[in-house]
Every structure is written in C-alpha cells, then in structure tokens.
Structure 1
Amino acid sequence: MKYCRPRLYFRGGWLLAVLAVVNATPVIAEISNFGAFNLSPGFEQAKGKVAGYTGGSYPLSAMSNRDRDRQACIGFADPKPDHIMILEKDFSHLKVLVNSRGYDTTLLIQGPDENNIRCGDDTGKKKDASVDDENWKKGTYRIWVGSFNSGVERKYTLIVQQ
C-alpha cells in the first residue's frame, strides 16, 4: 500500500502565505514619531531626556476628554504618539516635563492599560506641560506632546524625573 500525503490547493496561495508570515511576525517596537526609550528605577538623568517637536491638528480630547484624575485633556498633536516610554519595573513616582522654552504645550500619556490616561497642561506659571504622579506600573506608555493651538510646530525636550 502506498502512502499519500494530502495536498492543499487554493487560489491566491502566495497572498495567504504572505499574510501568515506577517501575522506571525512579532512586533518588536511600536511606531512613534521620535522613538522609544526604556527606564528602570535609578536611571541616569540622560536616559530620561528625549527631544522632538510639536505639530499636528489631531485633538487630544478625541482620545480622552479627561484623565484618570478628571483633569482635562487638551491640545493638538499628531495621531501617532511622539514617544514610547517603556518602564521595566514599577515606579512609585515619576514627573514628566516638557521644556519648549515657554511655548504653550500640552501632554497626554497613555499607560499600559489603554484607559490609564494622564494629561498635563501648564506647570505653575509656566506654559510648558507636565505630569507629576504616583503609581506608574511596569509597561509601555505612549506619550503625545501637543500644542494648545492646532498645527503649531515647536521644538521641545521631554524630561522624565524620579
């Protein structure tokens, strides 16, 4: 008796093969405008400093009107996050600041749980945004740095402090 292997015949086999490979490929890094950075407790100050520029007309309020502390989420940015911050361990406290040399910036940070949103606007008497909060869980955070007015492009430095 001769052994026969079953054969699969289908149209568009090349397309299904490509889709299978694409779907099986792990995502290594999420897409952001200015890249990703990793932080562990005790990180060097330089590791918590990245740069970019504001711009875009996507209203951050479309992501969330209010954050987890009922603070308003305002401003305009690109729909794609500007930075990806990966916390390798839990942090009891972090402060995220924008330094645009006094231009009116805003901030939206989406935590590993998509419903965990933190928003920031003016810091004291300064127009630059910040978020100063506790209980940052290990995981991936998407950060949008916006401007108060749509389409305004300003260079900034984003600073994360413990």
Structure 2
Amino acid sequence: MKVSKISHSYVVKLGWGTFTTIVALAIAAPSFAQSAVSLGRNFRPDPKTLDGSGGGNVSIASTAGIADNCRGFAHAEPNHTITLNETFPVMDLLVYSSNINDDPTMLIKGPNGIIICADDESGGRNPQVTRRMPKGIYKVWVGSKNVNQSFGYTLSLSEIRQK
C-alpha cells in the first residue's frame, strides 16, 4: 500500500490483493439490515410502515427466553428498533407479506421486561399485537415458521387497530 499527500488530502493506493480481499468481504457480508424509528403520539403518516426480510436460523423462543406462543425462526439481531417517546394507550403492530405461502411470526421485547410473541392472532396468517405500550425502546424480530425460510414483509405501526 502506498500513501502520498496531495495538497492537504491523502491518497491511498491499494494493491490488487487488497482490492480482491475487500470485494470478497463485501460479498460474504450478510445482507441483513436493521431499521430504527422513533415515534411520538399522533405520528403521521399513520400507519407507519417498515419493510424488511424475515426469517432466519435462530429460534424465536430462545431469543424470547420463554416458549409461550413464541414460534418460528429469525435472525439473531432484531429486524427493527422502535423508540416510543411517550406512552401509547394503543399501539398496533401488524406484519404482513404479499406471498400467501409465507407464514410470519413476531417477537417484541420492550422496556421493563415486556416480551410479546405473536403468530396468527389477527384471524389470518399475519401476526398482530394491539395493546398499551409504555414509553421506551422496543426490539422487533420477524420470523418464519420454517428455519432459514426468508421472505419480504411489511411491519405496519398504528395508533388504531388495523384490519
């Protein structure tokens, strides 16, 4: 590697071996990306939607630390971090996908030890949680019933129950 100074800027020249190593690392890096959102009461637009890729190889029950209705497999890291800047009397989280063969599940871990697992509660194939949520940080995992089955989804957040 050669470094030279050109008028208060530094130019780094990398050899071919370094370039191929960087490309290999970029290709090998996982494509999983987490999104974060911060919400106050009366947020707009309502619903707020977040897109992601669900599924993985980690048991949601083991991530939750409980087995009660905690089904499916997700990534080790949460798909979304949601910060509620104040207590919401009603917060509705609904996961849906456009493919009828997907069967999403959801885990929410919040402040004060809140753990919520959801699977098909909305009367269909989509996990939904509607409840009072205190101010704080919530981590959301979106999983699939089958290990290593990945799929695209939308997480919809609203201050009213969604259908």
TM-score normalized by the length of structure 2? 0.71
Deviation at 1:90, TM superposition (A): 0.5
Deviation at 1:152, TM superposition (A): 0.6
- One-letter identity of the residue aligned with 2:66: N
RMSD across aligned C-alpha pairs, in angstroms? 1.7
Provide the secondary structure at the position in 1 that maps to 2:92. Answer: strand
1:36 is matched with 36
- One-letter identity of the residue aligned with 1:77: A
| Kept in 2: contact 1:34–1:83 (CA 8 A) | yes
Does 1:147 find its partner at 2:144? Answer: yes
| Kept in 1: contact 2:57–2:73 (CA 8 A) | yes
- One-letter identity of the residue aligned with 1:111: G
Q: Unpaired segments of 5 or more residues in structure 2?
A: 1-31
2:66 is matched with 65
Identity of aligned residues (%): 31
Q: Unpaired segments of 5 or more residues in structure 1?
A: 1-31
- State how far apart, in whole Å, the 1-side matches of 2:121 and 2:80 are: 20
> Whose strand fraction is larger, Structure 1's or Structure 2's?
2
| Kept in 2: contact 1:105–1:148 (CA 8 A) | yes
The correspondence of residues 1-162 of structure 1 with structure 2, limited to 5 A, is 33-45=33-45, 48-63=48-63, 64-66=65-67, 71-101=68-98, 102=100, 103-113=102-112, 115-134=113-132, 136-162=133-159
| Kept in 1: contact 2:122–2:128 (CA 8 A) | no
- State how far apart, in whole Å, the 2-side matches of 1:106 and 1:33 are: 18
- State how far apart, in whole Å, the 1-side matches of 2:80 and 2:54 are: 12
Deviation at 1:46, TM superposition (A): 5.6
Count of residues in Structure 1 that have an aligned counterpart in Structure 2: 125
2:9 is matched with none
Residue deviations 1:96-152 (CA, integer Å, cap 9, x gap): 000112320000000022x21011101344212111122x11111000000011101
- State how far apart, in whole Å, the 1-side matches of 2:103 and 2:124 are: 8
Deviation at 1:47, TM superposition (A): 6.8
| Kept in 1: contact 2:46–2:158 (CA 8 A) | no
| Kept in 2: contact 1:51–1:158 (CA 8 A) | yes
